Amino acid sequence: MLYREAGQFKTSYAADQQIFPIRQDRIGIAIVLVLAFVAVPLFAKFVPDTGQYLLSAIFIPFLIFSLAALGLNILTGYAGQLSLGTAAFMAVGAFAAYNFVLRVPGIPLLVAFIAAGLCAAAVGILFGLPSLRIKGFYLAVATLAAQFFVVWTLVRFPWFSNHSSSGVITAQKMVILGYEFDSPIEKYMLTLAIVAIMAVAVKNMVRGTVGRAWMAVRDMDVAAEVIGIRLMYTKLLAFAVSSFYCGVAGALYAYAYLGTVEPEAFTLDLSFRILFMIIIGGVGSVLGSFLGAAFIVVLPIVLNVFVHGLNGLLQSTVQWSLPGSITSNLELIVFGGLIIFFLIVEPHGLARLWQIGKEKLRLWPFPH
């Protein structure tokens, strides 16, 4: 009843080809954007304590990891190339942005971010070369090399961290057109704007020639080659675009989120976390990247807050609470259990659940 495209007639090619062809989807996206761009900052303004905590500890990292997951989803979800080097490409982005701002006087910050993304893309292409010969798990191992090589390089050559004795970099102030982004709200708005624009760009990309070529390669590369898709170009483009997204995410991770980063922050562990995001969120889905990031970034925090609240209640009522080691492990157990639960219920990820929900909604309230 509510969600139905009946009666929405397309009278022009432009209307037929728009990114969100169903009116309800457009309204939904508009509401989400208004919430994100207007309601959240307003909330943070009027409830500063909670608002700042939510922005700087939850929303900003959520957006940044969504962007990184989006990047990996381009490569793994759409082009079918398994990668374990996501964190490495993020590291390239973070360190490149730092060095551009440091060494090129007067460079605009956004230009530095784009240049950092391009650096990551170049490294991505380099480590994407083996994908022309190897596939699947073997490719994952090849990208694993990127993971170790990049971190090793950043630790080994002090030039990258401007000869800092401990090898860490401290992000410079974020100034765009003379305006300094330093409060959580400003950082959030900047991150959100970048992520929103890049997400729409992916959405657009994957329904066009490029995206279709990626999916053709993913589904069967020999067949794709037979119908005239250039494998090398397509695969390397996927690596480049994916790494570009990860690079920008890495730069934001350093500038808008942590402020000071060490190369060791970009470990294999982080790559795995981003891989889990797209597996749980939905491989080959833009929405899935966001859902997966929310699941991996936000859910442990929610569990932690919940267990703490429970413990506080126990403490005040029965003068007894669970010891620290048990509460910490409890979170992990519940979190792990939920991952398994969701993968059994819907192996294609949370995005697929949403899609099923939409299809049910189309028939509601009169299912056949």
Q: Which is nearer to other proteins, 166 or 209 (CB)?
A: 166
Instruction: List CB contacts of 323: < 8 A, sequence separation 6 or more.
Output: none
Least distance from C-beta 327 to other proteins, angstroms?
7
Six-digit token string for 108: 């605009």
Residue found by looking up tokens 């969100």 in the block: 20
Q: Please, which residue, 17 or 328, has the CB nearer to other proteins?
A: 328
Q: If you search the block for the tokens 């934001």, which residue do you land on?
A: 252
Q: Residue 4 and residue 6: Cα distance in Å, rounded?
A: 6
From the CB of 297, what's the least distance to other proteins, in Å? 8
The enclosing H or E element of 117 equals helix 109-128
Nearer to other proteins, 327 or 355 (CB): 327
Give 196 or 310: the residue with its C-beta nearer to other proteins.
310
State which amino acid sits at residue 364.
W
* Least distance CB 71 / other proteins (angstroms): 17
Residues that bind other proteins (CB under 8 A): 49, 52-53, 56-58, 61, 102, 152, 155, 162, 164-168, 170, 172-173, 257-265, 297, 300-301, 304-305, 308, 312-313, 315-317, 323-325, 327-329, 331-332
Q: How far is CA 212 from CA 79, 129, 148, 234, 250, in A?
A: 9, 21, 32, 10, 27
153 vs 355, beta carbon nearer other proteins:
153
- Cβ proximity to other proteins: between 208 and 336 the closer is 336
Residue closer to other proteins (CB basis): 59 or 78 = 59
Residue 105 or 365: which CB sits closer to other proteins?
A: 105
Could you write out the DSSP letters of every residue in 152-170?
A: HHHHH-GGGGTT-TT--EE
CA torsion through residues 291, 294, 300, 306, sign: negative
Contact by Cβ (8 Å): 86, 275: yes
What minimum distance in Å lies between the beta carbon of 170 and other proteins? 6
- Angstrom distance (rounded) from CA 87 to CA 147: 7
Query: At its nearest, how many Å lie between other proteins and the CB of residue 84?
Result: 16
C-beta of 325: minimal distance to other proteins in Å? Answer: 4
- C-beta separation of 60 from 257 below 8 A: yes
- Which is closer to other proteins, CB of 152 or CB of 364? 152
Minimum gap (Å) between residue 239 Cβ and other proteins: 26
> Strand, helix or coil at 367?
coil
Which among 304, 313, 314 has a CA at the least distance from the CA of 335?
304
CB of 122 to other proteins, least distance (A): 25
Beta bridge partners of 181: 174
Rounded least distance, CB 322 to other proteins, Å: 11
Token couple for 184: 């959580």
